[in-house]
Structure 1
Amino acid sequence: MDSGVWKEKTVDTTSEELPFAAFAVPERPGKPRTTGLSMMSDWGMGLGRQADTLESSGTYIDFAKVAAGVSRFMPRAVLSRKLRLYDEHAIPAFPGGLFAELALKLDRFESFVDEVVELGFRGVEISDNLLDLEAADKAAAISLAKSRGLLVFGEVGKKVGKLDDDTIVADVGTCLDAGADWVFLEASELFAADDVRSALVERLASTFPVDRLIFELPVVIAQGVTRDYKHSITTWLVRELGTQVGLANIEWDELYVTELVRRGFAGDTSHPQGVYRMAGFRDLGE
Structure 2
Amino acid sequence: MEVTSHLKWNPVLADPTGRRQAKPRTLGKTMVIDKGLGLNAFEDLLSTSEDHLDMIKIGFGTSPLYPQRLLKAKIDMAKASGICIYPGGTFLEVAIAQDAVSSFFDMVLALGFNGLEVSDGTIEVKRKLRNELILRGVNEGLQVITEYGKKGWGSSIELDELIETVTIDAEFGADLITIEARESGMGVGIFDTQGNCKDEELHKVLSAIPGQHLLLWEAPLKNQQVHLMQMLGPDIHLGNISTHDIISLEALRRGLRSDTLSFGTRKE
Q: 1:237 aligns with which of 223, 228, 234?
A: 228
Residue in 1 aligned with 2:176?
182
Cα distance 1:176–1:16, how it changes in 2: closer, same or farther (>3 A)?
farther
Whether the aligned pair in 1 keeps the contact of 2:252 and 2:259 (CA below 8 Å) is: no
The alignment status of 1:19 with 2:9, answered yes or no, reads yes
Residue in 1 aligned with 2:191?
191
Q: How does 1:207-246 map to 2 (within 5 A)?
A: 207-218=209-220, 230-246=221-237
Q: 2:259 aligns with which of 264, 268, 271?
A: 268
Cα distance 1:194–1:81, how it changes in 2: closer, same or farther (>3 A)?
closer
Whether the aligned pair in 1 keeps the contact of 2:159 and 2:205 (CA below 8 Å) is: no
How far off its partner does 1:79 sit?
A: 0.6
Whether the aligned pair in 1 keeps the contact of 2:157 and 2:190 (CA below 8 Å) is: no
SS of the residue aligned with 2:24?
A: coil
Q: Separation in 2 of the partners of 1:213 and 1:247?
A: 9
Q: Separation in 1 of the partners of 2:139 and 2:64?
A: 24
The alignment status of 1:256 with 2:244, answered yes or no, reads no
Deviations 1:169-192 (A, max 9, x none): 222222112211111111221112
Residue in 2 aligned with 1:204?
205
SS of the residue aligned with 1:52?
A: helix
Whether the aligned pair in 2 keeps the contact of 1:135 and 1:174 (CA below 8 Å) is: no
Deviations 1:94-120 (A, max 9, x none): 000000111112221122112101111
Residue in 2 aligned with 1:247?
238
Cα distance 1:233–1:97, how it changes in 2: closer, same or farther (>3 A)?
same
Cα distance 1:62–1:194, how it changes in 2: closer, same or farther (>3 A)?
closer
Give the partner amino acid of 1:196. C
Q: Separation in 1 of the partners of 2:26 and 2:244?
A: 23
Q: How does 1:1-286 map to 2 (within 5 A)?
A: 18-19=8-9, 21=11, 23=13, 25-26=16-17, 27-160=19-152, 161-187=155-181, 188-192=188-192, 193=194, 196-206=197-207, 207-218=209-220, 230-268=221-259, 272=262, 274-275=263-264, 277-278=265-266
Deviations 1:197-242 (A, max 9, x none): 3233334334222222110114xxxxxxxxxxx1110001100110
TM-score of the pair, normalised by structure 2? 0.86
SS of the residue aligned with 2:189?
A: helix
Cα distance 1:17–1:104, how it changes in 2: closer, same or farther (>3 A)?
farther
Cα distance 1:266–1:75, how it changes in 2: closer, same or farther (>3 A)?
same
Q: Which structure 2 segments of 5+ residues have no match?
A: 182-187
Q: Separation in 2 of the partners of 1:79 and 1:194?
A: 32
Q: Output the aligned Cα RMSD.
A: 2.2
Q: Separation in 2 of the partners of 1:25 and 1:153?
A: 31
Q: Separation in 2 of the partners of 1:163 and 1:55?
A: 37
Give the partner amino acid of 1:68. F
Q: Separation in 1 of the partners of 2:50 and 2:110?
A: 24
Q: Which structure 1 segments of 5+ residues have no match?
A: 1-14, 219-229, 280-286
Cα distance 1:132–1:18, how it changes in 2: closer, same or farther (>3 A)?
farther
How far off its partner does 1:75 sit?
A: 0.5
Q: Separation in 1 of the partners of 2:189 and 2:235?
A: 22
Identity of aligned residues (%): 29
Q: Separation in 2 of the partners of 1:56 and 1:194?
A: 28
How far off its partner does 1:80 sit?
A: 0.7
SS of the residue aligned with 2:239?
A: strand
Between Structure 1 and Structure 2, how many residues are aligned?
251
Whether the aligned pair in 2 keeps the contact of 1:40 and 1:248 (CA below 8 Å) is: yes
SS of the residue aligned with 2:96?
A: helix
